Amino acid sequence: MTQSNPRNYPPVPAKPNSRIVHGTRLDDEYAWLRADNWQEVLAKPQALPASIRAVLDAQNKFADDILADTQSMREILLKEMRARILEEDSEPPTPDGAFDYFERTRQGGQHELLCRRPRGGGPETILLDGDALAKGKSFFELGDAMHSPDHRLLAWSSDDKGSELYTLRVQDMTRAANLRDRIPRTDGSAVWTRDSSAFYYVAVDANHRPARIMRHRIGTAMRLDELIFEENNPALFAHVHLCHSGQYAVIRSHDHDSSECRVLDLSDHAASPRLIEARQPGVQYDVEHCGGHFYLRTNVDGAKDFKLVAAPIHAPERANWVDVVPHVAGRMILSCTCFANFRVHMERENGLPRIVVFDNTSSQSHAIEFNEEAYALSMESGFEFDTPMLRFTYSSMTTPRQTYDYDMASRSRVLVKQQTLPSGHNPARYVTRRIFATARDGALIPISLLMRADMPKGTKAPVLLYGYGAYGYAIPANFSANRLSLVDRGFVYAIAHIRGGTDKGFAWYEDGKLLKKPNSFHDFITCAQHLIATGYCDAGTLVAHGGSAGGMLMGAIANLAPQLFAGIIADVPFVDVLNTMLDAQLPLTPPEWQEWGNPIESAEAFAAIAAYSPYDNVTHQAYPAIFAKGGLTDPRVTYWEPAKWVARLQAHITGGGPVFLKTNMDSGHGGASGRFDHLNEVAQDYAFAISRVNLPQWATQPEK
């Protein structure tokens, strides 16, 4: 493994730029990499100024040169990963009235096809062909697709830049032709009125904020669309979704701290949004509907891990909320869906999810049981309201995804799909474990491990340690066929369930946000140290991986404990935290103040962020090899964040490395859009990880 000479890094001009904030001088010599016309660039990438493009192009060439040594391994990994995909595949159909709706993929196809057929079987109709729609485009992603209640029209959206600015269109499904209706700059969602004559959508403003709920009547010009609701607070985003009953749309305004909801009767075109309860700091709730009641998942009255309450439709304000599933500390209620005769919620306790079904007729509840010690679970409500059938998917780090239809009345389940790996898979070849590291303050941090079952006892292995730790997102212990390419070669794949997520309840999230954000970074470092101390690996044989807010984690641990890691993979890393949180004009900044703090108004928040912001804490020291990735049209982590960070790292590194940046000039936050193009990116990540360590001699070639 060779190391790059820092003098060979692409030159990035450092231009003096400083300001005083709360009495502190901030130097930002690479601020010029932020294009003044960044909003235009999101929709029109070719508008990027030539001087900035030259920097990104030079960094991309440098990255390609560095990664050239991994090319053969990337090709091998890509071949393995693709061999595990059933290329011509279909999801189980979801019934609605006279039709079954489903998605499928074709052999060699990059994108999904949305289809329908007569209920129970019959000839298929392709409604949307993602491969055909993507033809000739560098990026293409289908957004939402929602059929009208009369099954005649399909409102569907797509993004062809990666900027998450979706254009809505309407297809007449009876003749497979798009109508003239076309609405650009939306968040991609649509909710139909019950008579199928109109739909509601979310318009995105100039700063990329989903702010206005509009009603579009089929066959009319966009300029005639009616404004139904506008969120004027720049710290809040507005969204609209359908209650499962189909009777109401819910308009939800929220940030990371609070929310308020309005309901809209979809049977009445003259109806105005009706407020459930005005927003209050720290109070969150969302709404479902069944019969004469709204059901709300909420943290009101100190229900830190949430509870479920019911309220009468005619008087849904907080004074009339009645507990139906009380709060239990440590048991976090994640979601709630209502059916005509059942209410279903997902909860998580001790790090494991569970589905609980309540029978409206018998007033009895039961949980759906699972046998493995660690697993992942998701729930799909489907289209139909008056049905006893619930669909859920289950997997573990060793067990491929299984999809079940569950009869809530008889409590029986039917396996409707088992994820198939064409190249073969033997779960007994692998073992998963959950261990705990002790944090500086005594907190126990869960670590999920996946490894070969035949790994010799007492041996050490390279480890890829993944982490996120933000926004209350809990990392599931799910199955990933791609990870097998590392594990087969002797890696231990580890997930650090650090604070900032809700893996151990809402308090676990609160202990990793705002002024307590450094807990996330130190938890991750503690997990790395624990893996070393318990003999799973040696220092310098760990590769760290994280993206977005997890990319901030990567930047922080690179500054705090560079000696622990052989390499760091930072996907679209949120690393310029202080400058971004000081810029109220950026799309995500005002809502993000509830997650990170507002350094504009609070000197305390400013000092806290300044102390850990990865870009601001780069120093003259040796760094591990760092592979950073960005997306030119990314509205969440703008391209200049990783570009500035890497430029400063390259200017300060005194040893180790190399540090390099690969910017996808044709995509945004999620990387490449095609499924095989995405696999190529994963293969490149893993090839880089493999290049940083020595593979153990006991590991044989991949599973046959």
Q: Find the mean pLDDT for residues 99-111.
A: 97
What is the per-residue pLDDT for 228? 97
* Cis amide leading into 658 (omega within 30): yes
What is the per-residue pLDDT for 369? 83
Per-residue DSSP letter, 216: E
Residues with Cβ within 8 Å of 121's Cβ and at least 6 positions away in sequence, in order, are: none
* Cβ atoms within 10 Å, residue 701: 9
Report whether pLDDT(318) > 50. yes
Using one digit for the tens of pLDDT, what is the confidence trace for 154-180?
999 999 999 999 999 999 999 989 999
- The Cα 374–Cα 524 span in angstroms is 20
Number of DSSP helices (H) and strands (E) in the chain, helices first:
13, 41
Phi, psi values for residue 671, rounded to 5°: 80, -160
Q: Find the mean pLDDT for residues 616-641.
A: 96
List residues bridging with 274 in a β-sheet: 263
Beta strand pairing status for 293-298 and 322-325? unpaired
If phi over 0 gives left and psi between -120 and 50 gives alpha, with beta otherwise, what is residue 614? alpha
At residue 704 the predicted structure's pLDDT band, cuts being 50, 70 and 90, is very low
Cβ-contact 552, 637 below 8 angstroms: no
Using one digit for the tens of pLDDT, what is the confidence trace for 280-301?
999 999 999 999 999 999 999 9
Tokens of 561: 């404990």
What is the per-residue pLDDT for 4? 43
Cβ-contact 575, 555 below 8 angstroms: yes
Tokens of 487: 């594990």
- The Cα 503–Cα 71 span in angstroms is 37
Cβ-contact 305, 331 below 8 angstroms: yes
Q: Find the mean pLDDT for residues 388-401.
A: 97
Cβ-contact 545, 466 below 8 angstroms: yes
Using the Cα atoms of residue 120, residue 121, residue 125 and residue 127 in order, give the sign of their dihedral: positive
Using one digit for the tens of pLDDT, what is the confidence trace for 242-264?
999 999 999 999 999 999 999 99
Cβ-contact 262, 254 below 8 angstroms: no
Cβ-contact 154, 148 below 8 angstroms: yes
Using one digit for the tens of pLDDT, what is the confidence trace for 555-609?
999 999 999 999 999 999 999 999 999 999 887 898 899 999 999 999 999 999 9
The b-or-e profile of 535-563 (16+ CB within 10 A means b, else e) is ebbeeebbbbbbbbbbbbbbbbbbbbbbe
Cβ-contact 240, 258 below 8 angstroms: no
The b-or-e profile of 684-699 (16+ CB within 10 A means b, else e) is bbbbbbbbbbeebeeb
Burial of 457 (0-12, 13-18, 19+ CB in 10 A): exposed
Report whether pLDDT(241) > 90. yes
What is the per-residue pLDDT for 701? 53
If phi over 0 gives left and psi between -120 and 50 gives alpha, with beta otherwise, what is residue 691? alpha
Cβ-contact 511, 520 below 8 angstroms: no
Cβ-contact 52, 15 below 8 angstroms: no
Using one digit for the tens of pLDDT, what is the confidence trace for 114-149?
999 999 999 999 999 999 999 999 999 999 999 999
DSSP string, 29-82: TTGGGS-TTHHHHHH-GGGS-HHHHHHHHHHHHHHHHHHGGGHHHHHHHHHHHH
Which of 352, 348, 685, 353 shows the shortest CA–CA distance to 493? 685
Amino acid identity for residue 444 in this structure: L
Using one digit for the tens of pLDDT, what is the confidence trace for 520-529?
999 999 999 9
- The Cα 384–Cα 544 span in angstroms is 43
What is the per-residue pLDDT for 700? 62
Query: Cα 532 from chain centroid?
Result: 29
- The Cα 396–Cα 434 span in angstroms is 12
Tokens of 511: 């202990």
Residues with Cβ within 8 Å of 314's Cβ and at least 6 positions away in sequence, in order, are: none
Beta strand pairing status for 18-21 and 24-27? antiparallel
- The Cα 509–Cα 516 span in angstroms is 10
Q: Find the mean pLDDT for residues 209-222.
A: 96
Higher pLDDT, 539 or 412: 412
- The Cα 66–Cα 2 span in angstroms is 10
SS3 339: coil
Residue with tokens 């009777």: 247
- The Cα 304–Cα 328 span in angstroms is 9
Tokens of 273: 């949004």
Q: Average pLDDT of the chain?
A: 95
List residues bridging with 496 in a β-sheet: 447, 467
- The Cα 617–Cα 313 span in angstroms is 53
Q: Which residues are catalytic?
A: 548, 634, 669
- The Cα 633–Cα 165 span in angstroms is 10
Using one digit for the tens of pLDDT, what is the confidence trace for 376-389?
999 999 999 999 99
SS3 256: coil
The b-or-e profile of 199-215 (16+ CB within 10 A means b, else e) is bbbbbbeebbbbbbbbb
Q: Find the mean pLDDT for residues 85-91.
A: 97
